Amino acid sequence: MLPPLNFGVVATDLYRSGHPQPPSFPFLETLNLKTILYIGDHTKSHEYYHWISNKNIQFVHIELSNQLLQEDKVNSILDILLNKDNYPILIHSNKGKHRVGVIVGLVRTVLQGWCLAGAYDEYSKFTKEKGEYDLEFIELFQPALHIDREKLPDFVTIEAI
């Protein structure tokens, strides 16, 4: 079985990747996904939509610009990740690098209390480069989240939020 490009486990039942292609569908089926959160541009992959529909996976598309991250959209993404009813969940963009890297960086710093150096290190392992704007966004982001403590996934550190 073949995982999608830049696949990784962020936390229990939270996964990251680039855009899944048909050869990776059997691998993704082993994850028993409940939700797929796509944060890239519009996709024209009819096979992809057909597969999601056939597997009864909830599909959420929040178009996040690669050049200019919008805080309201980032907060919406984090709100989805803060609800354990959405899990197991895959978050992906086109290549699973920068946009997903920012979201995972915010999961690490905002939701788990990681230091910035650890989040930056993980970001650079997937991007193979420094995205100064992305790293600055992670550092300066001020979350405005809707938190239901009874629905928080186990990986969230209460003290961090």
Cα distances (Å, whole numbers) of residue 12 to 54, 70, 84, 89: 24, 27, 11, 10
pLDDT tens-digit map of 40-72: 887 778 899 999 999 999 999 999 877 667 889
Mean pLDDT, the chain, integer = 92
What is the C-alpha to C-alpha distance for residues 138 and 85, in angstroms, rounded to an integer? 26
pTM here?
Answer: 0.93
Domains of the chain are 8-160 (3.90.190.10)
Residue 160 clears pLDDT 60, i.e. is over it: no
pLDDT band at residue 161 under the 50/70/90 scheme: low
CB 113, CB 160: distance < 8 Å: yes
Q: How many CA atoms lie within 13 A of 97 on its CB side?
A: 11
